[in-house]
Amino acid sequence: MQRIVQKIAFYPFSLIYSGVMSLRNWMFDREIPHATAFSVSVISVGNITAGGTGKTPFVIALTQLLTKNGHRVGVISRGYGRKSKMQEIVAPTEKSSMNPDFSGDEPFLIAQKCPGAVVIVDADRVKAAETAVRQFSCSVLVADDAFQHRHLHRDLDIVLWDGFDVPQRSAVIPAGRLREKMSGIRRASMLVFTKNQNVPESSHNFLRKIAPNVPQFTAPLTIEKIYRFNNRSEVDHLNLNNKTVLAFCGIGNPEQFFQTIDSFHPKVTIQRSFGDHFRYQSRTIAALLDQFHRERCDYLITTEKDAVNLTSVSPKIPNLLILEIGLDINEVASEILSRIPTPKNK
C-alpha cells in the first residue's frame, strides 16, 4: 500500500523527468549534439533501469570474452562514488592507481577480474575513450553504464534487464526505477535478460511489443565460488548448511543476494543492507563484528563488490566469506562477436 501511495505522489515528477529525457533523446536522435565516434568498435553496456541488473558481472564476462578472442580491450567507466575527479587508469601497470577510493568499486573489481584489459575512469567518457585508443592502442572499447550517455557513438548498444523484474509494473524515476520511458529500448542493438534462467514469457512478449526489432537473449546467474576474505581459500557452499550466517552488502539489488544465500540452506540468515557503493568504515565493521558475536554467528558473508570496499579499511576480518557470482553470456556471445571486426593481430 505504501508503495502505491509513493508512486501516486511521485507521478507528477516522473512526468517531468520523463519529458526532459524524451526531449534529450529527440535531440540526440537528430545529432544535436553530435556524438563522437572512434576508429575502433565501441560496445555500450547499460540499463534502462537504475542499477541492479548485473551490469558489472556482464561487463567482466564480456571483457574476458573479447580478450580471449584477441582484442585489446579498453573499459571506460564514470566510476560512481569515487573521491577523485581526475581521469584514473585502473590497470595492473605502473601508471595505475589501483585504489577503489579513486577509481570506484566497480571499475576496480573489473580491473581485478580482467588483467588483460585497460580500465579507464573519467566522468567524460569521450576523454576516456581517447586515452584508451591513443595511449593504449585498444582495438575495442566497452563503455560501462553508457546507454544514456549518448555523447559517445557506439557500434553496439546492449541493454540489460533483470530477468526477475516485471516490466509491466515499471515506472519512470522517481515513481519507479526507469531512467527513461520503456520505448528507449528501441535504440538498443540487443536486450539481455540477466540472472533468471527462466524468464516469464509474459516479460519477453511485453518488451517484444515495445521493441519488436530488438533481439532478446538471456544471461543467467552463475555461482562461481565462495572464498575466505583473509586468504582467498575456497569454501564449499555446503559449509553454510544449517549454520547461522550474517549476510551484508551495499549493492543495487540486495534482495537477490540474500535469496542466493538462502539457497545454501543456512539455519538462520541475518540480513544487513547498506546503500549501493557503500564505503565501509572501521565503525561499520566493528558494529558488524559486534552483531556477529552477539548473535553467535558462524560466518559473515558478502559480495565481491563489497570486498573491494572492505580491503582498504580492514584487510583481515575473521570468518568473513566472499560470494563470487557471474553471468553466463554464452547465448549472446556469438552475436556480439559477429558484430565487431576481428582484431588485426589474430
CB environment 262-288: b (16+ within 10 A), e (fewer): eebebeebbebbbebbbbbeeebbeeb
pLDDT at 226: 98
> What does the pLDDT average to over 96-112?
83
28-80 tens-digit pLDDT: 999 998 999 999 999 999 999 987 899 999 999 999 999 999 999 999 999 88
List the domains of the chain with CATH numbers: 2-216+328-338 (3.40.50.300), 222-325 (3.40.50)
pLDDT at 311: 82
Say whether pLDDT at 344 is over 60: yes
Please say whether the beta carbons of 317 and 289 come within 8 A: yes
Is the overall model pTM greater than 0.85, yes or no?
yes
Beta bridge partners of 219: 194
